[in-house]
């Protein structure tokens, strides 16, 4: 990989599980990516151009999902780089929980916890378990240029993507926060059906997230907290063969063709947008 490729630190905590998938996606997008253990000297994080906090169950999810990891020196160091120097960060699943607990997202008052990622709402039909693992659809809910990570999507893009969590319900009791999210266009992705309809039903919004929120950014657009796993939809080979729609059709058409299976999936655009923004920043 070119030596001038953006350099990413992927923070690994005890209990992280998604770091290697995220590393592969970041490198496929044209970035270098180091798995950075949480207990390394935090000042070393200033050497990186951007950051990823992946999925898993840091510290076994004790107290609340992400609560302990959010208070580690590594996160404090990253917080400074993101808020003061404008470096990008994406938090995926547990990483999103950590970012919310650290006050990075929604970031109306950086450092303050303004929302929660609460336990998934009960499903009165009994069809959705407390821990939900499966493929869902999400729709781009903001203009593509509103968030650094969505610049490679078309407006209103709908993509299939997997989720796997039990505490993914974005919520707040503060009406001012809700209004600010709408006014600032900080809701980046919403759960929807295959046709892009945003409906508050458990089959569409499996964790019961308010306003069907699947991902939020900070006001500056350089910090993205997303509960679904874009790296698990980064390549065509990861798409289920029985998935309805164009992505399922592409997967079935590539059956038996290893090279075709390595084509980009619907989630990789999040990482390519990050890479493009960083390359522009580095060469500016």
The answer to whether residue 260 sits within a structural domain is yes
Residues in the chain: 284
pLDDT band at 127 (very low <50, low <70, confident <90, very high): low
DSSP conformation class of 16? B
Q: Which domain holds residue 150?
A: 7-283
Q: What is the pLDDT of residue 85?
A: 97
Per-residue pLDDT of 191-203, as tens digits, reads 999 999 999 888 8
The answer to whether residue 37 sits within a structural domain is yes
pLDDT band at 129 (very low <50, low <70, confident <90, very high): low
Task: Find the mean pLDDT for residues 1-18.
Answer: 87
DSSP conformation class of 242? T
pTM (two decimals): 0.95
Distance (Å, whole) CA 238 – CA 236: 5
Q: What is the pLDDT of residue 46?
A: 98
Percent of the chain with pLDDT over 90: 84
Per-residue pLDDT of 68-95, as tens digits, reads 999 999 999 999 999 999 999 999 999 9
247 Rama sector, left if φ>0, alpha if ψ -120 to 50, beta otherwise:
alpha
pLDDT band at 1 (very low <50, low <70, confident <90, very high): very low
Confirm if 232 and 155 have CB atoms less than 8 A apart: no
Helix (H) or strand (E) holding 250: helix 246-253
Distance (Å, whole) CA 84 – CA 229: 27
Residue 122 has pLDDT above 90, yes or no: no
The answer to whether residue 89 sits within a structural domain is yes
Distance (Å, whole) CA 143 – CA 220: 14
Distance (Å, whole) CA 11 – CA 7: 13
The answer to whether residue 1 sits within a structural domain is no
Q: How many domains in the chain?
A: 1
What CATH number did the domain enclosing 77 receive? 3.40.50.880
The answer to whether residue 176 sits within a structural domain is yes
The answer to whether residue 2 sits within a structural domain is no
Q: What is the pLDDT of residue 128?
A: 61
What is the overall mean pLDDT for the chain?
94
Burial of residue 245, with CB atoms counted within 10 A of its CB: 0-12 exposed, 13-18 middle, 19 or more buried: middle
pLDDT band at 185 (very low <50, low <70, confident <90, very high): very high
Q: What is the pLDDT of residue 178?
A: 96
Is the C-alpha dihedral spanning 102, 107, 113, 118 positive or negative? negative
């Amino acid at each position: 990989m070119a030596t001038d490729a953006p350099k990413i630190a992927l923070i690994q905590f005890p209990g992280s599980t998604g770091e290697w998938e995220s590393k592969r996606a970041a490198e496929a997008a044209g970035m270098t990516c180091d798995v950075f253990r949480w207990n390394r000297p935090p000042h070393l994080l200033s050497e990186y151009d951007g950051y990823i906090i992946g999925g898993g169950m840091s510290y076994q999810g004790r107290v609340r999902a992400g609560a302990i990891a959010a208070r580690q020196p590594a996160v404090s160091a990253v917080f400074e780089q993101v808020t003061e120097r404008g470096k990008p960060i994406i938090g995926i699943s547990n990483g999103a929980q950590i970012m919310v607990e650290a006050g990075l997202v929604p970031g109306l008052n950086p450092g303050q916890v303004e929302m929660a990622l609460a336990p998934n709402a009960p499903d009165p039909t009994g069809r959705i378990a407390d821990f939900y693992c499966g493929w869902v659809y999400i729709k781009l809910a903001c203009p593509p240029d509103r968030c650094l990570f969505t610049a490679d999507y078309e407006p209103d893009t709908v993509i299939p993507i997997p989720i796997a969590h039990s505490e993914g319900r974005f919520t707040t009791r503060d009406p001012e926060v809700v209004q600010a999210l709408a006014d600032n266009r900080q809701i980046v992705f919403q759960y929807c059906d295959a046709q892009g309809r945003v409906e508050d039903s458990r089959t569409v919004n499996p964790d019961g997230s308010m306003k069907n929120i699947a991902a939020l950014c900070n006001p500056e657009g350089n910090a993205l907290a997303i509960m679904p796993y874009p790296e698990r939809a980064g390549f065509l080979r990861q798409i289920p063969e029985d998935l309805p729609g164009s992505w399922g059709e592409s997967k079935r058409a590539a059956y038996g063709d290893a090279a075709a299976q390595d084509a980009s999936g619907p989630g990789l655009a999040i990482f390519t947008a990050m890479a493009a923004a960083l390359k522009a920043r580095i060469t500016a």
